[in-house]
Amino acid sequence: MCGIVGYVGRQTAAPILLEGLRRLEYRGYDSAGVAVLSGSEMQLRKKKGKIDEGLAKSLQAQPLAGQLGIGHTRWATHGPPSDENSHPHLDQSGRMAVVHNGVIENFDRIKERLMEAGHTFRSATDTEVLAHLIGDHYEKLKGDQSEASVRLTQAVLSALREVIGTYGIAVVCTDAPGIIVGARRGSPLIVGLGQNENFLASDVNAVVAHTQQVVYLNDYDVVTMTADRFDVASLGADTAKVQISQVEFSPEAAERGKFPHFMLKEIFEQPATVRNALRGRIDSDEATAKFGGLNMSMAELREVDQIVLTACGTSWHAALVGEYLLEDFAHIPVEVEYASEFRYRHAPLEKHTLVVAITQSGETADTLAGLREAKRRGHKALAICNVVGSTIAREADGGIYLHAGPEIGVASTKAFTSQVTVLTLFALLMGRLRMLPVRRGMEIIRALEAGPGQLESILQQNERIKRIAQKYARAQNFFFLGRQHGFPVALEGALKLKEISYIHAEGYPAAEMKHGPIALIDPNTPSVVLIPSDSMYEKTLSNLEVVRARNGPVIAIATEGNATIAKQADDVIYVPPTLEPIFPLLAVVPLQLLAYHVAIERGCDVDKPRNLAKSVTVE
What DSSP string describes 476-530?
SEEEEEE-TTHHHHHHHHHHHHHHHH--EEEEEEGGGGGGTGGGG--TT--EEEE
Is 3.40.50.10490 the CATH classification of the domain at 255-456? yes
- Whether the pLDDT of residue 558 is over 80: the answer is yes
Is 3.60.20.10 the CATH classification of the domain at 3-247? yes
- Cα of 598 vs its chain's centroid, Å: 23
H-helix or E-strand spanning residue 586: helix 583-601
126-140 helix and 148-160 helix, angle to the nearest 10 degrees? 130
- Whether the pLDDT of residue 617 is over 60: the answer is no
CATH fold of 461-619, please?
Rossmann fold (3.40.50)
pLDDT-derived band of residue 208, with 50, 70 and 90 as boundaries?
A: confident
| Ramachandran angles phi, psi of 400, nearest 5° | -130, 125
Mean pLDDT confidence for 416-430: 98
pLDDT given at position 616 = 65
- Give the integer Cα–Cα distance in Å for 390 and 89: 27
Domain residue limits, the chain: 3-247, 255-456, 461-619
The share of the chain scoring above pLDDT 70, in percent, equals: 98
Residues belonging to the active site:
2, 614
pLDDT given at position 274 = 97
- Whether the pLDDT of residue 251 is over 60: the answer is yes
Mean pLDDT confidence for 141-159: 86
Residue-wise pLDDT for 436-446, tens only, equals 999 999 999 99
The reply to whether domains 255-456 and 461-619 share a CATH topology is yes
Give the chain's mean pLDDT: 91
